[in-house]
Amino acid sequence: GENVEQHPSTLSVQEGDSAVIKCTYSDSASNYFPWYKQELGKRPQLIIDIRSNVGEKKDQRIAVTLNKTAKHFSLHITETQPEDSAVYFCAASLTGTASKLTFGTGTRLQVTL
């Protein structure tokens, strides 16, 4: 089955700096890669996703890059703000009838003033 590794497990940045979280996956057939933000005690919320036919996707301050050859993808948050503090999960999935999200272990991001 799919295995997703995520690094770092914790990340502390100063407000205004950039944050980068990296994930690797094992199944080369995976073709859908979402990122979720989970605040303490809240549900995971989809913040951005990318499909395998795209190398990069951007939405305001967040962007995701995908390297299919190396089987890794990354989340980039620019101009971080205190409200970005949360746990971020990457995931990989096969779409279609075999769809199944495999999540990484999460990165706790702390944005300090």
Partner 1 sequence: EAGVVQSPRYKIIEKKQPVAFWCNPISGHNTLYWYRQNLGQGPELLIRYENEEAVDDSQLPKDRFSAERLKGVDSTLKIQPAELGDSAVYLCASSLGPGFPGKYFGPGTRLTVL
Q: Which residues bind partner 1 (CB under 8 A)?
A: 32, 34, 42-46, 89, 91, 93, 95-106
* Residue 12 or 18 having the CB closest to partner 1: 12
Residue 68's nearest CA partner among 55, 56, 83 is 55
Q: How far is the CB of 55 from partner 1 (least distance, A)?
A: 20
Cα–Cα distance measured from residue 56 to residue 39, given in angstroms and rounded to the nearest whole number: 25
Q: How far is the CB of 68 from partner 1 (least distance, A)?
A: 19
Q: For the chain, percent helix, then strand, then coil, each to nearest 5? A: 5, 55, 40
Q: How far is the CB of 43 from partner 1 (least distance, A)?
A: 4
* Residue 85 or 106 having the CB closest to partner 1: 106
Cα–Cα distance measured from residue 102 to residue 108, given in angstroms and rounded to the nearest whole number: 18
